Amino acid sequence: MPAVTETIETVQSMTESTYKWGFETDIEMEFAPKGLNEDIVRFISAKKNEPAWLLEWRLRAFAVWKTMEEPRWAAVKYPPIDYQDSYYYAAPKEKVGPKSLDEVDPELLKTYAKLGIPLREQEILAGVEGAGSTPAEGRMPIAIDAVFDSVSVATSYKERLGKEGIIFCSISEAVQNHPDLVKKYLGSVVPQGDNFFAALNSAVFTDGSFVYIPKGVRCPMELSTYFRINAKSTGQFERTLIIADAGSHVSYLEGCTAPMRDENQLHAAVVELVAMDDATIKYSTVQNWYPGDAEGKGGIYNFVTKRGACRGARSKISWTQVETGSAITWKYPSCILQGEDSVGEFYSVAITNNYQQADTGTKMFHIGPRTKSTIVSKGISAGHGQNTYRGLVRIGAKATAARNFTQCDSLLIGDLCGAHTVPYIENRCVSAKVEHEATTSRIAEDQLFYCRQRGLTQEEAVGLIVNGFCREVLKELPMEFAVEAQKLLQISLEGSVG
Amino acid sequence: MLRIEGLTAEIDGKEILKGIDLEVPTGEVHAIMGPNGSGKSTLSYVLSGREGYEVTAGTATLNGVDILAMEPEERAAAGLFLAFQYPVELPGVGNATFLRTALNAVRKGRGESELDAMQFLKLARQRMTALSMPEDMLKRGVNVGFSGGEKKRNEILQMALLQPSMAILDETDSGLDIDALKIVSDGVNAMRGPNFSALVITHYQRLLDYIVPDRVHVLMAGRIVKSGGPELAKELEAQGYASVQAAA
Ligand SMILES: Nc1ncnc2c1ncn2[C@@H]1O[C@H](COP(=O)(O)OP(=O)(O)OP(=O)(O)O)[C@@H](O)[C@H]1O
Ligand SMILES: [Mg+2]
């Protein structure tokens, strides 16, 4: 049997049993009634004790959303979503900080354990008092804002960050404690009516993270959020806002796994980044939501709007993403390069296996002079997976000497999958330079055999070769994430071993 | 000990091996010589389990165990190593990562403990020094951009790390400069001992001056047509394969 055939079969034999993190935590939920209307928007806002301006803001978004239609231009197919058949608010009841892990809901702890989260981080995640004051030895300290379902269960390292004047909290807390910052920046990068999903998010977002790094501060640790989608049929509408003031620097990690379930789940997050003069924001994502079973049943619909504004001169925003999960991924982390000499980067690995569909890429808007962008996209398709890179590089008339370099590589495993590259380039500036390179390749039989002759199993060989293919992107990830991501790549392409 | 009996094999319906009988006792090094296209590499692929090569008859056992029924990685764990005639490039895969993954996979398969990064590095450095390989080769992609000779040396490095009980070296000498030939041969000779056997495929008698074989076999058109001591290689060098063919 030729290697390619076997690889196809290996890949095809993947079942939901290979999704190691499919489980559901049973924590008492407080639900808003099913459906979406103005009352629900008011309910959410009231639950969160929001100021009037924010309720107004949400209602405006809702009004716009009602007039909008779901986008259809992406190369993804899915049955119509019934927006009235979903819950838009769910919160775990437990609110007071436990004294030790013994007091934490054991279900929650089990969830963390299955996620492979180290004990210390579990404590932090669960909001155990005093946890996280001393970072584990030899590790870069990580501050975690755990989004368990919709409400942040815990935030950590607050004190240490507080000393530097850094604000890292849930967006709900930010609304209460730092309303001026929120009011000033919320929607300033992704306006309420930006697109259908962003409008929906603006109307009903329940929680997310808020970060403010003051002038000249280099954030002493990686900031991290573990996203979890937990309640059945609860759409997730995270809202993240990160502001890096002049000369500051921050690295933010977003990682997610989700429980297995049959119904498709909608996830429509919005992430807004703002970088002022000489500020740098590095935003890294490892996305591993339930992709659906081998027949394509179930799985998360991931419709995300992520955008960063390089407002200041010499500012830099760097997106790195490893997308292995979700049934559908619709995601274009973008950079608005406004400040002169500002830099935008997009490093992406997207895997589609079985019946997964990914339409992902980036948009780089060059507005200021000498702005620079780099795009490196690695798409891997296996099974019946469909992988589309969709990118836009727009260079405005004033973006003199702007530069873009784009590299899109596709790796195909098997004959039933597809890879597509859709690069749009709009250049209104003669002095700008835009370069685009694209390749498509397959894992060669001799590569697999070479690895297997050296003792690696077929899966390990595929994993190793795929990791090699993605190296340029993986090396952009913070160390801890890189290891996790490498494992994920292999798991996502693993057959039922044996 | 490697024992092959009546082995026939085909690829894409074409019979290449037409009944091979061969025994390499433990501790011995045998050489295989033969004209281009006679089936030498095919034999090495069949023994190591490459896909597409179909065994139609015969047996092959390594230390008494039937290897033909095993997956390639199981054969590797069982102690079989193939130094490729054309080592394969793995872009983006660091040589160190590859070597360590392979070593640990094989060790795991043999029920031995895995080496951590530090232990591995120490061992790898040792072996590389012995093969006069610069350390930066660990950082580069597997065989990517390696010169012909460097690739061959990298194969021997892998052998030195994986410590097989049976190594097949498929034209490891071709492409090596004079010094490299000596270094690589020393690498192979260093492994010789009561628990190591090798099948050295080569076109040149010169290699056998360095790695002196216990036996030399001539493979022609899918069959071993002649076997003898090291002097057979010298004979071939002088007279070519025509003489053997005429005799066979
Ligand atoms: N897919 C294939 N279909 C048909 N014939 C094949 C195929 N692959 C290899 N062969 C043939 O099998 C024969 C043996 O090849 P092999 O590579 O084993 O020779 P070799 O003895 O190693 O030669 P060399 O000394 O040149 O390395 C050759 O004639 C080759 O053309
Ligand atoms: Mg050959």
pLDDT at A106: 65
What are the tokens at B175?
A: 């492409």
Mean pLDDT over residues A310-322, rounded? Answer: 96
The Cα B110–Cα B77 span in angstroms is: 6
Does the structure show a pLDDT above 70 at B213? yes
Please report which helix (H) or strand (E) contains residue A460, including its range.
helix A458-469
A323: which strand partners?
A287, A350
The Cα A51–Cα A475 span in angstroms is: 43
Instruction: Select from B194, B226, B233, B228 the least CA-distant residue to B210.
Output: B233
Strands (E), A314-428: 316-323, 328-331, 334-337, 343-352, 357-366, 372-382, 386-395, 403-413, 418-427
Considering just the CA atoms, what is the radius of gyration of chain B in Å?
18
DSSP code of residue A98: P
A146: which strand partners?
A154
- Put simply, the answer to whether B91 touches A469 (Cβ < 8 Å) is yes
Look at strands A142-148 and A151-155 and give their pairing.
antiparallel
pLDDT at A127: 52
pLDDT tens-place string over residues A32-59:
777 788 888 888 888 888 999 999 999 9
Mean pLDDT value across chain B: 92
The Cα B30–Cα B91 span in angstroms is: 34
User: Could you tell me how far CA A162 lies from the centroid of its own chain?
Assistant: 26
> Which of B48, B73, B98 lies closest to A457 in CB terms?
B73
Does the structure show a pLDDT above 50 at A19? no
pLDDT tens-place string over residues B190-201:
999 999 999 999
A350: which strand partners?
A323, A379
> Which of B87, B93, B103 lies closest to A465 in CB terms?
B93
pLDDT at A24: 46
Does the structure show a pLDDT above 70 at B154? yes
Compute CA distances A311 → A317, A345, A395, A431, whole Å: 10, 15, 16, 22
- Please tell me whether residue A285 adopts helix, strand or coil conformation: strand
How many CB pairs below 8 A link A and B?
87
Instruction: Select from A423, A298, A306 the least CA-distant residue to A356.
Output: A298
- Look-up of token digits 């991931």: A302
Quick one: angle between helices A479-492 and A458-469, nearest 10?
A: 130
pLDDT at A21: 47
| Residue A144, amino acid | I
The Cα A234–Cα A162 span in angstroms is: 33
Mean pLDDT over residues A392-412, rounded? Answer: 93
Nearest CA to ligand 1 atom 17: B41
Rounded percentage of chain B residues whose pLDDT exceeds 90: 77
What are the tokens at A279?
A: 């500020």
Does the structure show a pLDDT above 70 at A489? yes
- Put simply, the answer to whether A471 touches B92 (Cβ < 8 Å) is yes
- B84 to chain A: closest CA residue: A450
ipTM: 0.96
Does the structure show a pLDDT above 70 at A195? yes
- Angle CA(B10)–CA(B173)–CA(B213) in degrees, nearest 5? 80
Does the structure show a pLDDT above 60 at A205? yes
The Cα A304–Cα B232 span in angstroms is: 72
Rounded percentage of chain A residues whose pLDDT exceeds 70: 74
Mean pLDDT over residues A57-77, rounded? Answer: 88
Report the sign of the C-alpha dihedral through residues A361, A388, A469, A15, in that order.
positive
Q: What residues contact A406, with CB distance under 8 A and at least 6 apart? A: A374, A375, A376, A377, A391, A393, A423, A434, A435, A436, A437
- The CATH number of the domain holding residue B101 is 3.40.50.300
The Cα A64–Cα B86 span in angstroms is: 63
pLDDT at A262: 41
Look at strands A403-413 and A372-382 and give their pairing.
parallel
Rounded percentage of chain A residues whose pLDDT exceeds 90: 37
pLDDT at A286: 83
Does the structure show a pLDDT above 70 at A5? no
The Cα A384–Cα A112 span in angstroms is: 32
Ligand 1 pocket mutation, candidates B15, B16, B207, criterion most atoms within 8 A of CB = B16
- Please tell me whether residue A414 adopts helix, strand or coil conformation: coil
- If one counts the domains in chain B, the total is 1
- A451 to chain B: closest CA residue: B102
The Cα A162–Cα A146 span in angstroms is: 18
pLDDT at A166: 92
Mean pLDDT over residues B90-99, rounded? Answer: 92
What are the tokens at B12?
A: 């894409």
Ligand 1 pocket mutation, candidates B42, B54, B199, criterion most atoms within 8 A of CB = B42
Give me the domain span that covers residue B30.
2-247
pLDDT at A138: 35
Distance of CA B17 from the midpoint of ligand 2 (Å): 13
Assess B71–A contact: CB distance below 8 Å, yes or no: yes
User: What's the pLDDT band for A74 if we cut at 50, 70, 90?
Assistant: confident
Mean pLDDT over residues A348-357, rounded? Answer: 84
**What's the gap in Å between the CA of A480 and the closest CA on chain B?**
16
pLDDT tens-place string over residues A458-486:
888 988 898 899 988 988 887 767 777 77
- Angle CA(B230)–CA(B235)–CA(B236) in degrees, nearest 5? 100
User: What's the pLDDT band for A405 if we cut at 50, 70, 90?
Assistant: very high
Assess B111–A contact: CB distance below 8 Å, yes or no: no
> Which of B72, B101, B142 lies closest to A449 in CB terms?
B72
